[in-house]
């Protein structure tokens, strides 16, 4: 499965999942219609499905206009997002599988950013679309969940195969890494990643996709056992994963880096 990155709005990413044989594509999280239509046309692809990770406007804002151009195509989202995702036709449950762009996706319910947040995991293609739950070197804000819920969702993503490519909803990697370094100033993997990401960004490129193995090494929200993180947050080794997550998320919300 080929993936085309479609930058939208200020720092959002939509993704075209390409079925090379049929010259069709599924679009993940279309924030806007125009850039998606332009990207599909540039690659000679017909859009035949829409897949949403969650209901926020900057992930579903382009659906209505896309449906005008492609009436009747399926719109996938979590079962509890009924009424919150425009044009939704398929109401997915945790563990469901579906075919998108000739590949097979498994649905992982990963609540916390929103209650209906899901990831699309393509095991065979070693790719996962995480929306605003897992970012590269960071995670989304906890709008609807609690620390227990969201840290559980992140732990679930962390258990996917380490070579999985992570496609997330926003280009926040550079600022996320500044917070990661603030918590773990002596972590060489974080320092190395900062150099890499700075080079990518100054060349105007996207940092997505990342590798889950790099996330496990640099993303503070996937490293709740790190002694340095616990020390930086003023927590002991006895603190639970949810407590560490809650403190880290709060510290990130307040971080001016």
Residues annotated as catalytic (active site), given as ranges = 54, 56, 58-59, 113, 132, 170
Please pick, from the candidates 19, 32, 33, 58, the single residue that binds Fe ion as defined by CB under 5 A: 58
Site for Fe ion in 145-174 (CB under 5 A): 169
The nearest distance, CB 54 to Zn ion, in angstroms, is: 6
Q: Does 187 bind Zn ion (CB under 5 A)?
A: no
The nearest distance, CB 144 to Zn ion, in angstroms, is: 10
Separation between Cα atoms, residue 229 and residue 6, nearest integer Å: 34
**Residues in contact with Zn ion, shown as a per-residue x/- string from 121 to 140 under the rule CB under 5 A:** -----------x--------
Separation between Cα atoms, residue 202 and residue 58, nearest integer Å: 25
Separation between Cα atoms, residue 182 and residue 229, nearest integer Å: 9
Residue 32: contacted member of Fe ion, Zn ion, none (CB under 5 to 8 Å, by partner type): none
Number of residues interacting with Fe ion: please give it, by CB under 5 A.
Answer: 3
Supply 126's token pair.
């070693």
Closest CA to 252 of 168, 167, 150, 178: 178
Q: Could you tell me which stretch among 52-60, 158-166, 191-199, 217-225 binds Zn ion (CB under 5 A)?
A: 52-60
Residue 147: contacted member of Zn ion, Fe ion, none (CB under 5 to 8 Å, by partner type): none
Q: Does 252 bind Zn ion (CB under 5 A)?
A: no
Q: Does 29 bind Fe ion (CB under 5 A)?
A: no
- 90 by DSSP, 3-state: which? strand
Supply 75's token pair.
């719109």
Separation between Cα atoms, residue 47 and residue 62, nearest integer Å: 13
The nearest distance, CB 31 to Fe ion, in angstroms, is: 8
Q: Is residue 193 packed enough to be buried (19+ CB in 10 Å), middle (13-18) or exposed (0-12)?
A: buried
Q: Does 170 bind Zn ion (CB under 5 A)?
A: no
Q: Does 19 bind Fe ion (CB under 5 A)?
A: no
Residue 248 CA neighbour count, 13 Å, CB half: 35
The nearest distance, CB 238 to Fe ion, in angstroms, is: 34
Please pick, from the candidates 56, 170, 230, 252, the single residue that binds Zn ion as defined by CB under 5 A: 56
Q: Which residue has the tokens 């219609």?
A: 33
The nearest distance, CB 217 to Zn ion, in angstroms, is: 25
- 211 by DSSP, 3-state: which? strand
Residue 189 CA neighbour count, 13 Å, CB half: 13
User: Which string of b and e fits 216-239 if b means at least 16 CB within 10 Å?
Assistant: ebbbbbbbbebeebbebbebeeeb
Compare residues 30 and 224 and give the one whose CB is closer to Fe ion. 30
Separation between Cα atoms, residue 64 and residue 202, nearest integer Å: 34
Compare residues 9 and 251 and give the one whose CB is closer to Fe ion. 9
Q: Does 171 bind Zn ion (CB under 5 A)?
A: no
The DSSP code for 50 is E
Compare residues 81 and 132 and give the one whose CB is closer to Fe ion. 132
Interface residue list for Zn ion (CB under 5 A): 56, 132
């Amino acid at each position: 499965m080929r993936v085309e990155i479609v930058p939208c709005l200020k720092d959002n990413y939509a993704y075209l999942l390409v079925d090379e044989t049929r010259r069709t594509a599924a679009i993940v999280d279309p924030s806007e219609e125009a850039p998606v239509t332009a990207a599909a046309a540039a690659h000679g692809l017909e859009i035949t499905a829409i897949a949403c990770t969650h209901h926020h406007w900057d992930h579903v804002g382009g659906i209505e206009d896309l449906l005008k151009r492609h009436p009747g195509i399926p719109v996938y989202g979590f079962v509890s997002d009924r009424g919150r995702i425009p044009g939704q036709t398929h109401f997915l449950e945790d563990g469901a599988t579906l075919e998108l762009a000739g590949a097979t996706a498994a649905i992982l319910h990963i609540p916390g950013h929103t209650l209906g947040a899901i990831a699309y995991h393509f095991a065979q293609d070693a790719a996962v679309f995480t929306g605003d739950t897992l970012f590269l070197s960071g995670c989304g804000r906890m709008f609807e969940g609690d620390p227990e819920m969201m840290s559980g969702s992140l732990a679930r993503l962390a258990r996917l195969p380490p070579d999985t490519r992570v496609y997330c909803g926003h280009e926040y990697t550079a600022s996320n890494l500044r917070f990661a370094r603030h918590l773990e100033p002596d972590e060489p993997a974080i320092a190395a990643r900062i150099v890499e990401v700075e080079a990518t960004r100054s060349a105007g490129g996207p940092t997505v996709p990342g590798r889950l193995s790099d996330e496990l090494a640099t993303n503070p929200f996937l490293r709740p056992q790190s002694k340095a993180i616990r020390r930086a947050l003023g927590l002991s080794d006895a603190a639970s994963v949810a407590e560490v997550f809650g403190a880290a998320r709060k510290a990130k919300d307040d971080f001016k880096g």
